[in-house]
Amino acid sequence: MKIIGIRQAAILAGGQGIRLRPFTLTLPKPMIPIHGKPFLEYIIELLKKNSIEEVIIMTGYLHKKIEDYFKDGQKFGLKIKYSFSPVEDETGTRIKKAKKFLDGTFLLLYADNYWPLQLDQLFKFYKKMDTQGLATVYSNIDNYTKNNILVNDKGLVEIYDKTRQTPGLNGVDIGFFVLNKKIFNLFPQENFSFEKVILPQLVSKKQLAGFLTNHKYYGLSNLERIPVIEKFLKPKKIILLDRDGVIDEKPPKAEYVKNWSEFKFLPGTIEALKLLNKKGYQIIIISNQAGIGRGVMTEEDLKEIHRKFLEACAKESINIVGIYYCPHNWDEGCFCRKPKPGMLFKAAADHSFDLTKAIFIGDDERDKQAGQAANCPTILLQQGRDLLAIIRDLV
C-alpha cells in the first residue's frame, strides 16, 4: 500500500456532450468508449491503483449515464459519490457545490484528461511546497499543445494564462490538482470558473505549486484526438533494454563498440529476445553512445552496427521496434544521456505507451537512475544473472 496522504479524489465530469460517428447517441465526454469501456473508467482504475479510496464525481450533462454505469463504485473497488450540478454551472461552482463531500486535502481531476498519475510523488512535492494548491504541469517537450503556465525554479506557479499568449511560458496545466479546502475562502457567490477566478488568486498569493512532469497527458479536447488516446490506452507489453552489457559484450571503460566486428552477443541474448517476442513484448533499445561525441566513431558507424544488429535479429525472427541512442559526450548536459531520462520519454511518446507500465533492464547505476527519473520499473543485471535469467523470471 502506498503512503500518499490523500484518500479522496474529486472528478469534474460535467460539460457538453460529444457526438460520435457512426454512433447516433450523444454522450458526455467521460463516457466516450475506448476499447470497449468509458474513458472515465480508465481514470477510476488509475485512482484505485494510486490507493484512492473515495471518488466524488461532479456530474452535469447527461449525468444519469455516468451514475447508472459507475453506481456506488463497489464494482471498481472504491466508493463513489455524486454531486450533480446544472449544465450552466461553471467549474468553480461545481466544486463549490461538492464542498460538503470533500476532505481537508483532496485530488481534483478533469474527467477528459488522462495522465499516468504517481500520487505519492505528487503529494510529497505538495507537502514540501506547503502551498494551498498544486497544479500538475506537463513540460510540453514535444510541443503537444500551447503552453499556458510558467513554473519558476522554486517550484511556484508564477503565471497562469488561460489565453496562452504570455511569452516565456514553460508548461501546460493538465487538470490534476492537489488542493487544501482553505481555497473555498476564495470562492465568490456568483457562478464562476475555477481556472479564471481561483487559479490566478492562488498564483498572486504564491500559493500554487507547479509539479513539472515529462509524462505526456492524453485529453478528449476534440474528436481528432480519440485515435491517439486509443493507441495509448491499448494494452501492450513493453521491454526497454540497455545495449552494451545487456545484449552485447561491454567494452572496457572509455572504449566503445566501433564496428560490427566488435559487436558480440552475450550468451543467452538471442534466446531471451525470442522469448520476449513469443510472450508478446515489444522490444526497444535505449543506449548511451558517447563514442560519437568523443570522436572515436561516427554516427554512420553506429547506424551500420544497428543495421547489422537488426539483420541478425531478423534472421532469428526477432522484432525490435525501436532503437534510441544518445551520441553526446558525458559533459554536454543533454537530456537524452542516461542517467537523464530523455530517451525513455522519447520512446514512450513515439510508441504511445505508459512508462510506468513498462520495464527497463540495464547493467549500470545510470540505467537505474534514468528509469527512476521516468517512473519506469527498472531491473539491473547482477553477477550471475544474465538477460535470459531475468526474462525467464518475468514471463
- Tens digit of pLDDT for each residue in 47-66? 999 999 999 999 998 899 99
CB 196 within 8 A of CB 162: yes
Contact 302, 325 (CB under 8 A): yes
Of 198, 182, 193, which is closest to residue 103 (Cα–Cα)?
A: 182
Whether the Cβ atoms of residue 131 and residue 138 lie closer than 8 Å to each other: no
For 155, residues 6+ apart whose C-beta sits below 8 A from its C-beta are 125, 128, 129, 209, 210, 211
Catalytic hit among 89, 112, 173, 244 = 244
Per-residue pLDDT tens digits for 247-301: 999 999 889 999 999 999 999 999 999 999 999 999 999 999 999 999 999 999 9
Say how far apart CA 220 and CA 224 lie, in whole Å: 9
pTM here is 0.93
Q: Give 16's pLDDT tier (boundaries 50, 70, 90).
A: low
DSSP 252: P
Average pLDDT, the chain: 94
How far does the chain reach from its first CA to its final CA, in angstroms? 24
Does domain 8-233 fall into CATH 3.30.420.40?
no
Is 350 a known active-site residue?
Answer: no
Domain ranges of the chain: 8-233, 237-394
Cis ω before 22 (30° cut-off from 0): yes
Question: Which residue out of 89, 112, 173, 242 is catalytically annotated?
Answer: 242
Residue 363 annotated in active site: no
- For the domain spanning 237-394, the CATH number is 3.40.50.1000
